[in-house]
C-alpha cells in the first residue's frame, strides 16, 4: 500500500511551542493555504468555508483581542496564566488562519433544498473539518506547526469589527501556525477493537 499520505498525517500534530522562524514567503504560504482549502470537499460542492489569513500585526491583533476578551471573563487571579498561554503558545507563532462559515450560503442551501435543510449546517462543519485538517497537514509537510483553537464566540464581535468581516461569516476556529520550537509528545490511541468493526 502507498503510505505517503499516512506519513504526512502522522507528521501533523498539535504544536503548542510555535515560533517565527519561517523560511517560506507570505505569498507562498498564502497560495499553499488557498490551494489546499480549495481542494477540501464540501457537501454539494457548496464551499461554505471562508478564510482569513493573518500575518504580522494582524496576527498579533487576533491574540490581543483574545486577551482583551478573556480579561473580561477570566477571574483576575487566573488571567496571568491565560495570558502566558496565549502569548507563548499562539501569539508567538508566525500567522493565524481564521475559519468562518458563510451562514448566508448555508441559508441559501437550506431554502433551496428543503429535503436536506436539517443537514446543511452540520455539513458546513464537516467541510471546515476537512479544510482545517488538510491545511494543518500541508503546513506539517512544510515543517510548520499549528494548533486549532476555539476562542469563538467570545471574540466574534471584536474580530468582525477589527477585520471588517462580512456579517454573515460565523467564526468557527482559529489556527495559529509557525515554526516548530518543540515537538508534540507521543499520542495515545484507543483500542482498535473498540473503534473498528470489519465485516466480511
Identified binder of ligand FMN from the candidate list 1, 73, 186, 187, rule CB under 6 A: 187
Answer yes or no: are the C-beta atoms of 172 and 155 closer than 8 Å: no
Is 147 among the residues that bind ligand FMN (CB under 6 A)? yes
Is 167 among the residues that bind ligand FMN (CB under 6 A)? no
Identified binder of ligand FMN from the candidate list 149, 169, 170, 177, rule CB under 6 A: 149
Identified binder of ligand FMN from the candidate list 81, 150, 161, 182, rule CB under 6 A: 150
Identified binder of ligand FMN from the candidate list 14, 82, 126, 152, rule CB under 6 A: 14
Footprint of ligand FMN on residues 19-78 (CB under 6 A)?
none
C-alpha cell at 193: 477493537
Answer yes or no: are the C-beta atoms of 195 and 155 closer than 8 Å: no
User: Phi/psi of residue 4, each to 5°?
Assistant: -60, -45
Is 137 among the residues that bind ligand FMN (CB under 6 A)? no
Q: How many residues bind ligand FMN (CB under 6 A)?
A: 8
Identified binder of ligand FMN from the candidate list 74, 103, 148, 154, rule CB under 6 A: 148
3-state secondary structure of 174: strand
Ordered DSSP codes for 53-121: EEEHHHHHHHHHHHHHHHHHHS-HHHHHHHHHHIIIIIITSSEEEEEEEEHHHHHHHHHH-GGGGGGHH
Binding site residues, ligand FMN, CB under 6 A: 13-14, 147-150, 184, 187
Amino acid at each position: 500500500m502507498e503510505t505517503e499520505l499516512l506519513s504526512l498525517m502522522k507528521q501533523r500534530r498539535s504544536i503548542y511551542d510555535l515560533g517565527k522562524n519561517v523560511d517560506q514567503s507570505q505569498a507562498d504560504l498564502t497560495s499553499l493555504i488557498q490551494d489546499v482549502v480549495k481542494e477540501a470537499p464540501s457537501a454539494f460542492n457548496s464551499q461554505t468555508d471562508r478564510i482569513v489569513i493573518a500575518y504580522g500585526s494582524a496576527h498579533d491583533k487576533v491574540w490581543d483581542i483574545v486577551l482583551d476578551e478573556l480579561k473580561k471573563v477570566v477571574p483576575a487571579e487566573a488571567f496571568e496564566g491565560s495570558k502566558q498561554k496565549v502569548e507563548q503558545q499562539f501569539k508567538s507563532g508566525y500567522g493565524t488562519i481564521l475559519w468562518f462559515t458563510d451562514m448566508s450560503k448555508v441559508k441559501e442551501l437550506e431554502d433551496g433544498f428543503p429535503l436536506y435543510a436539517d443537514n446543511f449546517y452540520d455539513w458546513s462543519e464537516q467541510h471546515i473539518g476537512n479544510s482545517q485538517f488538510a491545511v494543518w497537514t500541508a503546513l506539517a509537510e512544510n515543517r510548520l506547526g499549528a494548533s486549532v483553537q476555539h476562542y469563538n464566540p467570545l471574540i466574534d464581535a471584536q474580530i468582525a469589527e477589527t477585520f471588517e468581516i462580512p456579517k454573515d461569516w460565523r467564526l468557527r476556529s482559529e489556527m495559529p501556525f509557525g515554526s516548530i520550537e518543540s515537538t508534540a509528545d507521543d499520542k495515545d490511541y484507543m483500542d482498535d477493537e473498540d473503534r473498528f468493526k470489519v465485516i466480511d
